[in-house]
């Protein structure tokens, strides 16, 4: 297991902290149920700064490839991750609720022990679609395997009621 990166979020912003690192997909435990396999890694960049209103903000950029399971054919689906997000740090729940009402920027509670890997994992999960699938026509589940002599039979049997029609001809 790799060493996780934990920051004091407000201190990180005050010091204009910046960090770039890689996380093996194997370490992103909450993603495992959504994945086809646990190969690869994601790269993240995090930096802290004060915005034009002197509010603390974390900038997070995530990139990489993960392998999801296609919900149609259950085969491997490569998902390119390319995310950028700005997170306003709030000091209490009241500020957080106020920011959610204004809906100007995503906000999180400032924490003296913010696990950056968990933050990266959360952002990836939030940006995945509900049902990951190959583009239309790219799934292999409906392809028929046939040779030349069976091609007419295969095209005839691809019709949903072809088996029923064949039974009717037997009688």
* Residues 6 or more apart in contact with residue 72 via CB below 8 angstroms: 133, 134, 139, 141
Three-state DSSP string of the chain: CCCCCEECHHHHHHCCCEEEEEEEHHHCHHHHHHECCCCCEEEEEEEEEECCCCCEEEEEEEEEEEEEECCCCCCEEEEEEEEEEEEEEECCHHHHHHHHHHCCCCEEECCCCEEHHHHHHHHHHHCCCCCCCCCCCCCCCCCCCCCHHHHHHHHHHCCCCHHHHHHHHHC
- pLDDT per position as a tens digit, 71-124: 888 888 899 999 999 999 988 887 777 776 666 778 889 999 999 999 999 999
Instruction: Give percent of the chain with pLDDT exceeding 90.
Output: 49
Average pLDDT over residues 125-141: 82
- pLDDT per position as a tens digit, 16-39: 999 999 999 999 999 998 899 999
Average pLDDT over residues 57-71: 94
Q: Tell whether pTM > 0.95.
A: no
Nearest to 48 by CA among 81, 83, 88, 21: 88
Average pLDDT over residues 145-155: 48
Distance in Å from the first CA to the final CA of the chain:
67
Where does the pLDDT of residue 60 fall: very low under 50, low under 70, confident under 90, or very high at 90 and above? very high
Instruction: Please state the separation of Cα 28 from the chain's center in Å.
Output: 11
CA 113, 101, 13, 41 torsion-angle sign:
positive
């Amino acid at each position: 297991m790799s060493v996780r990166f934990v920051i004091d979020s407000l201190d990180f912003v005050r010091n204009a902290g910046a960090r770039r690192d890689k996380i093996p997909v194997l370490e992103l435990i909450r993603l495992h149920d959504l994945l086809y396999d646990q190969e690869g890694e994601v790269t993240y960049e995090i930096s802290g700064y004060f915005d034009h209103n002197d509010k603390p903000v974390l900038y997070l950029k995530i990139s990489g490839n993960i392998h999801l399971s296609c919900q149609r054919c259950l085969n491997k689906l490569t998902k390119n991750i390319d995310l950028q997000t700005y997170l306003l740090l709030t000091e209490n729940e009241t500020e957080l609720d106020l920011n959610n009402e204004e809906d100007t920027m995503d906000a999180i509670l400032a924490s003296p022990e913010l696990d950056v890997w968990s933050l990266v994992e959360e952002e990836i999960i939030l940006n995945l679609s509900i049902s990951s699938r190959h583009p239309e026509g790219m799934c292999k589940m409906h392809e028929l395997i046939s040779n030349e002599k069976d091609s007419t039979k295969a095209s005839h049997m691809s019709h949903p009621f072809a088996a029923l029609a064949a039974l009717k001809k037997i009688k």
